Amino acid sequence: MPETMSHAVGNQISKSEEIRAAIDAIVAQVGQYNSTITDARPPQEGLVAEYQELMDRAAAVKGRPLLYPMLGSGAGNGPLVELGDGSVKWDMICGIGVHFFGHGHPELIRASLQASTQDVVKHGNLQSNFEAYRFAELMVSLAKRNSKLTQCFVTTSGAVANESALKVCYQKHAPASRVIAFKDCFMGRTITMAQLGDSAGGRDGIPLSTQVDYMPFWTEDNIAKAGGEAQFIERSCELLQEYITRYPKQHACFIFELIQGEGGFNVAPREYFVALMDMCKANSIAVWDDEIQCFGRTGEMFAYETLDLGDYVDVFCVGKMTQACATLYTDEYAPKPGLLSGTFTGSSQDFAAGNKILEMLRGGDLYGNTGKIAKHHALFRKHVAALAAKHPDWFPAVKGQSELSGGIGGMMKMSPFGGDQKKVIAACKACFDEGVVLFWCGHGPYHVRMLPPIPVMEESHWPKIFECIERAFAKVAS
Ligand SMILES: Cc1ncc(COP(=O)(O)O)c(C=O)c1O
């Protein structure tokens, strides 16, 4: 709050010792309850029927059963989440990457409680308290350290942040209307993002209005087919040139999902992106970096920092773990008034928790070669290797892939059962029953993926998690 506002009533509420003491008391009490959750456990018998009733109601109103029979009770402790039937599970997917600081984090409960004292729940582009702009300021100040991003538009979902990014690119390069994207990318579920995303099921029945030219992503299979890494880069550049020559000045942007999420936790080296981004720069094609799933999880806070690509990025999107979603752009890409707006930017809690999360990411011991993310990634791989050594028949060779585990940092994947779709999905569901929530990714081969709450994880958690996984895989194998 600026000094001039120190007598405002809002400032008195936010500085009130009485309110602070009451919030401290709530945080402590909730923490005491949550601290009794210490390991995975099965449902409590007396709650099973009641829980099933909730599940049936949810399925009836949604029109189909929930993917996992999972409704939280409102309690949890770090990587452990309690469900409404009293069962406790290791949450290794965190709502597909939303709860990076796990369950029941006292600082996030505190931030949400403080935010709840505000006069409104939601903020918007016309009427807003300052937290939305504090979030935008913090995002920009972090982004600016290693990029030219200077401005930030806050919004309510990843897909809408991407829509804003695409509008910014279109406006800057009007009348260019085509988009370049990678095979297997995922951008969200609006009508346009479903067209950019490379999944037939995601655009089934949707009229196509956006012209997309697809580029191959970096995979062992593609490299082998091309005859080597250098040859693959060369061929990809030739393909990009072909698109540019076929449609001169018609491409507004190339959407770079630097680490592919839904597409299979695929990772590419810097030189591949540099070769393609140099061509974008030479042809006035915006470099749009979607880090909605990978932000915060790679070796550095931004994936463009991990890959040293910050200088290339024109437009950037973030969401999921930041609670509030945002589109950032350079001065050069700043949109004209009227292009971006909307009723909501987010709720008081989104911004308060988002700000706290950004501060904790900045101040923590997560990043770098010796950071917590690198340490837990190595532990994950070690446990997959041990599981595969114990049960080699569960890990037959995967076509076009030499490693059984992969991903980067806090995006972890393993490829059991030869990457077979049915078996991998069955394995994920069996893991849920055995006490670990995780998910699948890829379009063939399929992988078991994790987006674990690394800041609240300890080394001792991994053996327990892999015990559940071993029991689950045994069921599928038999
Ligand atoms: C890379 C990427 N972009 C965009 C989105 C869409 O975000 P949201 O589901 O918040 O709309 C996702 C969601 O999974 C994503 O992984």
- Write the CATH number for 448: 3.90.1150.10
Is 103 domain-assigned?
Answer: no
SS3 354: helix
Protein residue with its CA nearest to atom 7 in ligand 1: 158
The CB of 291 under 6 Å from ligand 1? The reply is: no
Protein residue with its CA nearest to atom 3 in ligand 1: 187
How is residue 270 annotated by DSSP?
Answer: H
N residues, the chain: 478
Predicted TM-score (pTM) of the model is: 0.97
- Structure token pair of residue 175: 């009348």
Using CA atoms, how far apart are residues 355 and 172, in angstroms rounded to an integer? Answer: 30
User: Do 327 and 446 sit in the same domain of this protein?
Assistant: no
Using CA atoms, how far apart are residues 76 and 33, in angstroms rounded to an integer? Answer: 9
CATH of the domain at 169: 3.40.640.10
* Ligand 1 site-directed mutation target among 93, 164, 184, 186, most atoms within 8 Å of CB: 186
The β-bridge partners of 91 are 437
Q: Which of 115, 184, 152 is nearest to 319 (CA)?
A: 152
SS3 465: helix
Is 5 domain-assigned?
Answer: no
> What is the number of structural domains in the chain?
2
State the pLDDT at residue 7: 84
How is residue 336 annotated by DSSP?
Answer: P
Using CA atoms, how far apart are residues 71 and 297, in angstroms rounded to an integer? Answer: 26
User: Do 375 and 348 sit in the same domain of this protein?
Assistant: no
Residue 170, domain extent: 122-363
Using CA atoms, how far apart are residues 269 and 55, in angstroms rounded to an integer? Answer: 44
Strand duo 72-77 + 80-83: pairing: antiparallel
- Structure token pair of residue 137: 């300021």
User: Do 332 and 379 sit in the same domain of this protein?
Assistant: no
User: Do 359 and 385 sit in the same domain of this protein?
Assistant: no
User: Do 343 and 373 sit in the same domain of this protein?
Assistant: no
Protein residue with its CA nearest to atom 6 in ligand 1: 188
User: Do 175 and 275 sit in the same domain of this protein?
Assistant: yes
Is 112 domain-assigned?
Answer: no
Out of 315, 337, 363, pick the residue that ends a domain: 363
Q: Cβ atoms within 10 A of the Cβ of 413, count? A: 24
User: Do 190 and 211 sit in the same domain of this protein?
Assistant: yes
Q: Hey, what amino acid is at 380?
A: F
Helix (H) or strand (E) segment spanning residue 316? strand 315-318
Nearest atom (ligand 1) to Cα of 294: 1
Is 442 domain-assigned?
Answer: yes
The CB of 326 under 6 Å from ligand 1? The reply is: no
Q: Which of 293, 333, 342, 341 is nearest to 314 (CA)?
A: 333
Confirm if 75 and 37 have CB atoms less than 8 A apart: yes
Q: Cβ atoms within 10 A of the Cβ of 228, count? A: 10
User: Do 378 and 475 sit in the same domain of this protein?
Assistant: yes
User: Do 259 and 294 sit in the same domain of this protein?
Assistant: yes
Out of 338, 363, 388, pick the residue that ends a domain: 363
Q: What is the pLDDT along the chain (478 residues), one digit of tens a residue?
A: 554 577 899 999 999 999 999 999 999 999 999 999 999 999 999 999 999 999 999 999 999 999 999 999 999 999 999 999 999 999 999 999 999 999 999 999 999 999 999 999 999 999 999 999 999 999 999 999 999 999 999 999 999 999 999 999 999 999 999 999 999 999 999 999 999 999 999 999 999 999 999 999 999 999 999 999 999 999 999 999 999 999 999 999 999 999 999 999 999 999 999 999 999 999 999 999 999 999 999 999 999 999 999 999 999 999 999 999 999 999 999 999 999 999 999 999 999 999 999 999 999 999 999 999 999 999 999 999 999 999 999 999 999 999 999 999 999 999 999 999 999 999 999 999 999 999 999 999 999 999 999 999 999 999 999 999 999 999 999 9
Is 258 domain-assigned?
Answer: yes
How is residue 345 annotated by DSSP?
Answer: E
State the pLDDT at residue 4: 55
Considering only the C-alpha atoms of the chain, give the largest distance between any 2 of them, rounded to a whole number of Å: 70
Listed in sequence order, the residues at least 6 apart from 455 whose beta carbon sits closer than 8 Å to its beta carbon are 100, 101, 102, 360, 364, 366, 372
Q: Which of 371, 351, 366 is nearest to 296 (CA)?
A: 366
Q: What are phi and psi of 411, to 5 degrees?
A: -115, 100
User: Do 45 and 154 sit in the same domain of this protein?
Assistant: no
Is 128 domain-assigned?
Answer: yes
Q: Is 350 exposed, middle or buried (0-12, 13-18, 19+ CB in 10 A)?
A: buried
Give whole-number Cα distances, 278 to 41, 213, 272, 275, in Å.
52, 18, 10, 5
Is 456 domain-assigned?
Answer: yes
Q: How far is the CA of 293 from the centre of ligand 1 (A)?
A: 6
* Ligand 1 site-directed mutation target among 187, 297, 325, most atoms within 8 Å of CB: 187
User: Do 196 and 178 sit in the same domain of this protein?
Assistant: yes
Q: Cβ atoms within 10 A of the Cβ of 49, count? A: 9
Block residue for tokens 């194998």: 477
Q: What are phi and psi of 406, to 5 degrees?
A: -170, -155
State the pLDDT at residue 104: 98
Is 14 domain-assigned?
Answer: no
Out of 363, 380, 406, pick the residue that ends a domain: 363
User: Do 385 and 329 sit in the same domain of this protein?
Assistant: no
Q: Is 63 exposed, middle or buried (0-12, 13-18, 19+ CB in 10 A)?
A: exposed
